[in-house]
A and B are shown apart, each in its own frame.
Chain A
Amino acid sequence: MDLSYVKKLIKLVSESEVDEVEIEEQGKKIRVVKSKPNIVATVPVASLSQQAAMEAPIAAPVAQPPAAAPSAAPAPSKSSHHEIRSPIVGTFYRSPGPDAAPFVDIGSSISTGTVLCIVEAMKLMNEIESDVSGKIVKVMVENGQPVEYDQVLFIVDKP
């Protein structure tokens, strides 16, 4: 598959309102997905090939392994990583109270709606809930640190 074609397609998707484009021709398939804020390009090669999926030259995430190829070994697959961002401004707390255990830790399994942390603003404790299921792989903020709107709080590995 022509790399410049892939690049053009990625640019097209990122600049448009479209979230996902999948093109299949002559046995080759390419799917470009816009998952906020990173764009992930997956280029499953023909199922006969043992080759792992090609990596797209933008953003950090690596390409997803093709579902159709049984032998394709998943490369360190960061494209399934989801960033949980703060919807408000305030102070970040990992536990419900000063002496309590943290809501979640690295390795914790979470599902949609799980309370992950508290962001306190103007004396109001706002519980921040997860919008995905998965496992916490990274905690991006320290306890007691001020956070701004859209600041990344956790990285979640989605199944």
Chain B
Amino acid sequence: MFKKVLIANRGEIALRIIRVCKQFGIRTVAVYSKADSDSLHVRFADEAVCIGPPPGKESYLKIPRIMAAAEITNVDAIHPGYGFLAENASFAEICTTSGIKFIGPSPEMIMAMGDKALAKDTMKKAGVPVVPGSEGVLKSTEEGLEIAKAVGFPVIIKAVAGGGGRGMRIVREDSEFDNAFKTAQHEAQQGFNNPDVYLEKYVEEPRHVEIQVFGDRHGNVIHLGERDCSVQRRHQKLIEESPSPAVDENLRQRMGEAAIKGCKAVNYENAGTIEFLVDKNGDFYFMEMNTRIQVEHPVTEQVTGHDLIKLQLQVAAGAKLPRRKIVPRGHAIECRINAEDPFTDFRPSPGKITDFHMPGGFGVRVDTHSYAGYHVPPYYDSLIAKLVVFAQTREGAINKMASALDEFTIQGIKTTIPFHRQVMRNEKFRSGKFDTGFLNSFQIVPEESP
């Protein structure tokens, strides 16, 4: 097992990783920007190195500084967390050549899955169902239109280098195609410096269901069940749960097998998530693969009883994955608490938290780096806490989440707690019969400020 690990991240995930390392007796090194000097991950790490001014580009994304920090503290591994450099193949490469273990997959795997069109192609060849569409990059409007007609409208034009919901255009009929194609290319060039686009059938009323996978260094690949992440706003997940209300044991098995096939095709190592779209007929299609640990990993931990960060460290250190089939039990839900005002279109609300009280009790978990007196900086993403509940049934979990949210007190800034409270009481959400369009028709009801 590693002696010393550097966490190349911040916020709640950095603290999460530090906690697991402490349990193993692994020494921890935190890196931080000047805006994070009072951050909990800095406080609880054994050593901390300031790596730059507040902007992410000048600190958490600055590979030379992070590597220098790793060098002067003499670490033997780096955990990249999620976001920032977690899916940066160059960073993974530099770690390897510097003799430091990157806790994640190899640079080649990251690259293979990072290119969306290539990833889809790789999965298709492995026998994983994919959304029908173009075979790689579209060379012209004419080619695109032909494929669109063959696949059937509606279709979606996507940027090859895109992600996070950007660089996409839905087209519902022939006449719209040319315009959409040119706009998508332009947006892709502006956003990702790469105008290449590809085309897919647009799956209507899809649910976003992802499978947690794990590969070890001995060729074993397992899956740990699914997470339903259909409650999204502008392609950003807000609520996740496991199991998915739309997935029965049969579908779980088929999706799990497909996910494992995909991973074996690339000799996948460490944690990963394969995202699928599931349509109303229960057909599933590969969407993309994330070659890192995800924000919503606690939901899988609650229903499987496995600590996924711990598993990441173990696998990276050469351990074999557990042999016994992992069967999810009970139901878990996660609400992402962001520093945003849900009553004014989720406008960011950084600033000082004046009062902070977390809910607790059996089956109530909060992963957070926030505390009373903490200044939420404006430079990074707005996630300030993850509230995760576990119960025997979905209804039990929803009710537990609702009361936990009622108790969760954060003052001084605006948070999305009121939004989550309303969703937990929403008929459609409670029924379990919703898709990624859910929030389009969800209207938040104004409340009296506390």
Contact = CB atoms under 8 A, between A and B. Distances in A.
Does B bind A? yes
Interface of A: 88-91, 121-122, 146-151
Interface in B53-108: 53, 59, 64-65, 67-69, 71-73, 98
B34 interface: yes
A147 B65 CA distance: 11
B51 interface: yes
Given A89-B51, A122-B98, A150 B68 contact: no
A151 B51 CA distance: 10
Interface in B39-57: 49-53
Main secondary structure, interface of B, reads helix
Given A122-B64, A148-B49, A149-B50, A89 B98 contact: no
Contacts of B73: 146
Contacts of B72: 89-91, 146-147
Contacts of A122: 64, 67-68, 71, 98
Contacts of A151: 50
Interface of B: 34, 49-53, 59, 64-65, 67-69, 71-73, 98
A88 B59 CA distance: 10
A90 B34 contact: no
A148 B50 contact: yes
A90 B68 CA distance: 5
A150 B59 CA distance: 12
B11 to A, nearest CB: 19
Contacts of B34: 149-150
A90 B64 CA distance: 10
Query: Sorted from nearest, which 4 A-B pairs have the closest CB atoms?
Result: A121-B68, A146-B72, A89-B68, A148-B50
Given A91-B71, A121-B67, 9 more contacts: A89-B65, A90-B72, A121-B65, A146-B72, A148-B51, A149-B50, A149-B65, A150-B34, A151-B50
B308 to A, nearest CB: 30
Contact of A88 (B53, B68, B98): B68
A150 B52 CA distance: 7
Contacts of B49: 89, 146, 148-149
Nearest to A147: B72
A148 B64 contact: no
Nearest to B66: A89
A4 B52 CA distance: 36
A88 B50 contact: no
Contacts of A88: 64-65, 68
A145 to B, nearest CB: 9
A152 to B, nearest CB: 12
Contacts of B51: 89, 148-149
A89 B49 CA distance: 8
Nearest to B71: A122
A88 B31 CA distance: 13
B8 to A, nearest CB: 13
Contacts of A149: 34, 49-53, 59, 65
Nearest to B37: A150
14 contacts: A89-B49, A89-B51, A90-B68, A90-B71, A91-B71, A121-B65, A122-B67, A122-B98, A146-B49, A146-B72, A146-B73, A148-B51, A149-B59, A150-B34
A120 to B, nearest CB: 8
Nearest to A91: B72
A40 B281 CA distance: 70
A30 to B, nearest CB: 30
B24 to A, nearest CB: 25
A141 to B, nearest CB: 12
Contacts of B53: 149-150
Nearest to A89: B68
Contacts of B69: 89, 148
A29 B72 CA distance: 49
A150 B49 CA distance: 10
A25 to B, nearest CB: 35
A148 B50 CA distance: 5
Contacts of A91: 71-72
A57 B124 CA distance: 70
A144 to B, nearest CB: 10
Contacts of A89: 49-51, 65, 68-69, 72
Nearest to A145: B72
Contacts of A147: 72
A88 to B, nearest CB: 6
A147 B67 CA distance: 13
Contacts of B98: 122
A78 B50 CA distance: 26
A43 B52 CA distance: 34
Contacts of B50: 89, 148-151
A2 to B, nearest CB: 30
B330 to A, nearest CB: 45
Nearest to B58: A149
Contacts of A90: 68, 71-72
Nearest to B34: A150
